[in-house]
Structure 1
């Protein structure tokens, strides 16, 4: 569910009066997007990547869906979703496409074969920003009706997959929101609806001023900050985007909100120290994030852990701990009963039913043989029509805190029927 826009150009990009096609055409579009972003002050916030020789994705901000350009035999198609960014973002994308039209000679058409506007907000044709804000506000009202019907448990709206609500609150682009506040929008008047929308969407007004940069900074700290030491190029890109947003938000000695300043200080400290973050405060990734580990298993783990896949086994790492996982299937002959006691051999702790038909038992805490710290394993299992599904977890750390949290992580495990 979202607000989408599409356009098509039958003219390919030009360079020095020469018409380009193929990969060169998409590369020229990426260059034009980068030039536009630089003039807007977006700088390192914009990233472009070729996902194939015929597809380019331009990401103006790290907290919005990318803009996809597809090369066809008849021209260039572009599409984007703006409902997790807001009206300011939507208008900015249209402005970027206008810039490409002037610079590259493209001829974007926003009218479909049936004569309707391919921009669901209508803004590409009307250029009425007030009406665009109204469309976004109505979209928020539609989301509020969903909340009213389905309840808040674990809900998330307009944020990346895997992010979870907390304490009955709903995960939203700029932080948690109370479900009652969203439900009231179902019957809100225009003024109240617009006021709520301005604090829900990350880019509500059109100008990209210091106040708007503060909103973008808040959104990044909530949605993409990893709350740990950078370990790869992607982490450094996230860090660079956040620092750029902070500089723009604090231009001319402007102060940002106290909670935002404190969160930024904490993030910088964690990036340098390698410590684990506090469990509360700004940031979804300092909390549990849902992962689909394997076809048969999902589990929620701290978002500050670094995910790796080694020989098909999912592992999660940090300076303070290592968690390895392994999924196994044991075929059962028809009519054979599962010998749970035999499977649990070597696991000293009591058996625990996580949810109907899903059982777990942990080993005792043991000293590591090859270094300081301790190690503990857990075996989770469930019987399915295709056999017995097992999930083995191995946690090692030189600290006690991860072992204290191990049970709460295990409690989030869900078994999926891979025969369905």
Structure 2
């Protein structure tokens, strides 16, 4: 349910898939200038090339099959400026690399072309209007009932801000039901105001406003508000810094989120344990709820790191660690029978037992002090299990002090299905 384009082309010259995709990758790297060189990520996996031209949108994908090059892109997460940029980029690539793109073809089985019509008419105001109409169409879908909590143009793995009542969230923030009701009732001549507010890149040129809004979107949706863990997180901080820096060069008077920018720069300059600034930006400054395996959910502090250890989902920060592993069981076993077979009280003779029952999910667990002789470490543990029909989740929470027991229990209690 998005906007973009899907095209195919005949490549004149080489017919080797790997060679063609590598040529396109090299060309893209050479042609990406300025901030777009900073944004660019290239990933060649087997027979598919992924080109990320903007950090707030899905990568463009290309693959070569039976002598034909296929290319597809989604653009509505960023906006009409990004759409126009990609169209013009691939038109130029077609000329420079002798690719005969098919921009308009429909058969019984498939369709190729630019969904917005921009490639054919080069009418940028019409492209803006198309994007705004798409947004208005979303309002019709969202307003048909009393549901809320919609996520729009955000990565699939984005956690939800916990304990916050919102109608729609996008990378630029939260949007009220009233805002979408106003949008729904506007005619085409009045939609520009809403498109300009909602999309990251509304105008044709990559101006200071576009750069600031890109930085803000990354602060909201991607920034972990902790010291960069790896090269990917360090690159994210560098991109955010570059967005604000380049925006200020283009327009010294443009307003940027100074406190959040200082936080990013502090880590890039090598500081440690930088205090998270108080500002309205940054979803992960709050507690967030993650979707984990088997339709289970858990709420943890947003600044926690997250990752996978084989089949176990792990969240950690400092001396706190939360590990969750999900299992399934057959329908012949009742949840009560399964729970009774897990974490026997006899195995935890000196532990404090805790219980959970919300009428649907039942669970029990134990809090105790643990001495790990092998690792020469001592810490507190909460080990618990929760059971639902056909599924259970085993959780281990490590923490350093008994003073943090209430926090550990709160995290365990947050696990729902």
Same fold (TM over 0.5): yes
* Cα displacement (A) at 1:8: 0.9
Change (3 A) 1:407 1:364: closer
C-alpha separation between the residues in 2 aligned to 1:379 and 1:133?
A: 52
Q: What does 1:8-407 align with in structure 2 at a 5 Å threshold?
A: 8-12=8-12, 19=14, 21-38=16-33, 41-52=35-46, 54-114=47-107, 118-151=113-146, 153-161=148-156, 162-164=158-160, 166-251=164-249, 254-257=252-255, 260-269=257-266, 272-274=271-273, 277=276, 281-295=280-294, 297-328=296-327, 338=337, 343=343, 345=345, 346=348, 348-353=352-357, 355-364=358-367, 366=369, 374-384=379-389, 386=390, 389-397=392-400, 405-407=407-409
- What corresponds to 1:414 in structure 2? 416
* Cα displacement (A) at 1:313: 2.0
* Cα displacement (A) at 1:198: 0.7
C-alpha separation between the residues in 2 aligned to 1:204 and 1:76?
A: 30
Q: State the SS of the aligned residue for 1:49.
A: strand
Alignment coverage as a number of residue pairs:
403
Residue 62 of structure 1 contacts residue 224 of structure 1 at CA under 8 Å; is this kept in 2? no
Q: Deviations over 1:246-296 (max 9, x none)?
A: 2211116714435x2222223344673236746863112333444343336
C-alpha separation between the residues in 2 aligned to 1:138 and 1:42?
A: 27
* Cα displacement (A) at 1:207: 0.3
C-alpha separation between the residues in 1 aligned to 2:25 and 2:217?
A: 25
C-alpha separation between the residues in 2 aligned to 1:351 and 1:281?
A: 36
- What corresponds to 1:15 in structure 2? none
C-alpha separation between the residues in 1 aligned to 2:22 and 2:179?
A: 45
Residue 57 of structure 1 contacts residue 67 of structure 1 at CA under 8 Å; is this kept in 2? yes
C-alpha separation between the residues in 2 aligned to 1:332 and 1:299?
A: 24
C-alpha separation between the residues in 1 aligned to 2:286 and 2:85?
A: 32
Taking structure 2 as the reference length, the TM-score comes to 0.85
Residue 288 of structure 1 contacts residue 302 of structure 1 at CA under 8 Å; is this kept in 2? yes
- Which runs of 5 or more structure 1 residues have no equivalent in the other structure? 13-17, 416-420
Larger deviation: 324-333 or 186-195?
324-333
Larger deviation: 306-315 or 222-231?
306-315
* Cα displacement (A) at 1:375: 2.4
Q: State the SS of the aligned residue for 2:85.
A: helix
C-alpha separation between the residues in 2 aligned to 1:51 and 1:253?
A: 39
C-alpha separation between the residues in 1 aligned to 2:367 and 2:298?
A: 22
Q: Deviations over 1:158-192 (max 9, x none)?
A: 11223326322421121112222122211023344
Residue 275 of structure 1 contacts residue 319 of structure 1 at CA under 8 Å; is this kept in 2? no
C-alpha separation between the residues in 2 aligned to 1:82 and 1:46?
A: 15
Taking structure 1 as the reference length, the TM-score comes to 0.84
Q: Deviations over 1:375-402 (max 9, x none)?
A: 2414232242x5x6242231324696x6
C-alpha separation between the residues in 1 aligned to 2:244 and 2:402?
A: 33
Residue 5 of structure 1 contacts residue 119 of structure 1 at CA under 8 Å; is this kept in 2? yes
Instruction: Return the structure number with greater strand share.
Output: 2
- Which runs of 5 or more structure 2 residues have no equivalent in the other structure? none
Change (3 A) 1:366 1:41: same
